[in-house]
Amino acid sequence: MATASEASQQANRSAIDPKRLVVIFYLLAGIILALFMERVFGVLWARFGWSDPVLIDGLDWKVSTLVGYLLAVGLALATYLHPRTHSLSIEVASEMMKVTWPTWQETRTSTMAVVVASLVAAVLLFFIDTVAYNLMVEWLPAVWGKL
């Protein structure tokens, strides 16, 4: 069985075409946007009191659903086909393919280091805050009162 490091190296060496990753991303983003737009247009239709009849009975698609889906598909296609956005997407996917992800052991070690450093900082700040409070509220007024 391959370790996490070997699996990460294998994924980096698999030479998946960055264009494929970009297409997958745009498909997923389009689906999420379509579901969001379906809800937004459903609320708008209800808010303005427009008729929203069911177009496809089995799927329960209404006019607002169809408009939301069409708008999401149009936006996803327009974004994908825009030359600057498309080239940027390919560059990002290419750079992401070069990333070497940490192993589980490295992640655990780093997490423990952060937790320990945070606890040390919290204790140190607690003592500094306690001393400063006592200095300003109790010790200085007591000394000042004796002068």
Per-residue confidence (pLDDT) for residue 10, from 0 to 100? 53
Dihedral over alpha carbons 107, 109, 111, 114 (to 10 degrees): -140
Per-residue pLDDT of the chain (147 residues; tens, 9 = 90+): 445 455 555 555 556 888 898 999 999 999 999 999 989 988 998 899 888 888 887 888 888 888 999 999 999 999 999 999 999 999 999 888 888 888 999 999 999 999 999 999 999 999 999 999 999 988 888 888 877
Dihedral sign from CA coordinates of 25, 26, 30, 36:
positive
**Residue 90: what pLDDT?**
92
Look up residue 72 and give its amino acid: A
Residue 125 tokens read as 């700040």
- Give the pLDDT score at 6: 58
Residue ranges of domains in the chain: 1-101, 104-147
The answer to whether the CB of 64 falls within 8 A of the CB of 41 is yes
Side-chain-side CA neighbours of residue 52 (13 Å): 20
Distances (CA, A) of 99 to 13, 44, 62, 95: 11, 43, 44, 7
Q: How far apart are CA 79 and CA 23, in angstroms?
A: 11
